[in-house]
Amino acid sequence: MHRYFLTFLAAVLLAGCSRSVSNPAGEKVFTVGMSQCNLGEPWRVQMNADIEAAAKKHSNLRMVFKDAQNDTLKQRAHIEELVSAGVDAIIVSPKESQPLTEPVAKAYQAKIPVIVLDRAVQGDDFTCFIGADNKKIGKAAGEWLRNRLGPKATVVELKGLMTSVPGQDRNQGFRAGIEGSGIHVAFEADMKWLEPDARKEMESALARLSRIDAVYAHNDPGAHGAYLAAKAANRHREMIFVGIDALPHEGIAYVKQGILNATFQYPTGGAEAIETVLKILGGQQVPKTIVLGSRVFTAENADQGGESLP
Ligand code: FRU
């Protein structure tokens, strides 16, 4: 009872706010709902911070943040709540592709502009998708390793959630990058983007394989988890570690500390999402897809800000 009443109250308040509030300049204040799939990883905390910082520069924007705590059903409900509350636009970074497709499509069909950030949904029923090219990043990671490993090298691949598009694309791109090189992926597992899972999977890989030349993890928490497992087994010097995200205080710091050998930047797109929302609310056309660039950071180039992917 209590929970439903609070949800109802929140919906009423939200709807009230989005209807008729003006800023001191007399402009209509738009309410933008942001549905985040979880805030457990530093990268997602950074995405919300980037969105908040960009939104704060505009007195005609008011943000409402929702955190689904890595629960797909909760995230579906959050999107439905934002629609019933009558927000002016929705930004969503979905946990999984298929289950979030329907609520996103329903919001879009209800004429609410929807920006899908970082993890894609299926079909075309959204206003704009913003994210980096995960196939390209995976391929670059494969090529980077290929240039450093011998032709019979043994690699462990720790995959991101394979029901999400970045996980699928980082896997496919990587396989294309090492194709024909003789590099052998001797162990692969879905660590669901989570450091503790990656650590556990790596313990199994270490137990099974007497030699590992490299670990390719789909994100930096995964690469770090693998490193910790290898270090605990005193085998960390035997292999190189490659991750993705390159947050300054996470992946890039690991590279500078000599924990990771490379990290590929995965920009959050938070600022671009706000820029795009403003254009849409201002009546401008926006592209269906906005592709963000990436950079690679290694011990050699990290102090110079990395190097852009071609
Ligand atoms: C955070 C995260 C990042 C990764 C992104 C992919 O939840 O796992 O580490 O790059 O999601 O969507």
Domains present along the chain, CATH in parentheses: 2-131+267-293 (3.40.50.2300), 134-266+298-308 (3.40.50.2300)
Instruction: Determine if ligand 1 sits within 6 Å of the CB of residue 250.
Output: no
**What is the spatial distance between Cα 124 and Cα 105, in angstroms, rounded to a whole number?**
8
Closest CA to 290 of 305, 279, 281: 279
Q: What percent of the chain has pLDDT over 70?
A: 94
Residue 232 confidence (pLDDT): 98
Instruction: Determine if ligand 1 sits within 6 Å of the CB of residue 199.
Output: no
pLDDT at residue 20 is higher than 70: no
- Counting from 1 in the atom list of ligand 1, the atom nearest the Cα of 219 is 9
Report the nearest-CA residue for atom 6 of ligand 1: 166
Closest CA to 168 of 128, 134, 130, 123: 134
Strands 295-298 and 262-265 turn out to be antiparallel
* CB neighbour class for 211 (10 Å; exposed up to 12, middle 13-18, buried from 19): exposed
- Residue pLDDT, tens place only, 142-200: 999 999 998 899 999 999 999 999 999 999 999 999 999 999 999 999 999 999 999 99
Q: Is the Cα dihedral 205, 206, 211, 215 positive or negative?
A: positive
pLDDT at residue 33 is higher than 90: yes
7, HSE (Cβ side, Cα atoms, 13 Å): 14
Q: What is the pTM of this model?
A: 0.92
Cβ count near 140 (within 10 Å): 22
CA of 219 to the centre of ligand 1 (A): 7
Q: What percent of the chain has pLDDT over 90?
A: 91
**What is the spatial distance between Cα 141 and Cα 1, in angstroms, rounded to a whole number?**
51
- Residue pLDDT, tens place only, 48-105: 999 999 999 999 999 999 999 999 999 999 999 999 999 999 999 999 999 999 999 9
Instruction: Determine if ligand 1 sits within 6 Å of the CB of residue 193.
Output: yes
**155 SS3 class:** strand
- Sorting pLDDT into bands at 50, 70 and 90, what band is 21? confident
Length of the chain as a residue count: 310
Residue 18 confidence (pLDDT): 45
Residue 182, amino acid: G
**59 SS3 class:** coil
Residue 271 confidence (pLDDT): 98
pLDDT at residue 17 is higher than 60: no
Instruction: Determine if ligand 1 sits within 6 Å of the CB of residue 43.
Output: yes
pLDDT at residue 16 is higher than 50: no
Q: Which run of H or E residues covers position 93? A: strand 89-93
CA of 33 to the centre of ligand 1 (A): 20
Residue 26 confidence (pLDDT): 86
pLDDT at residue 4 is higher than 90: no
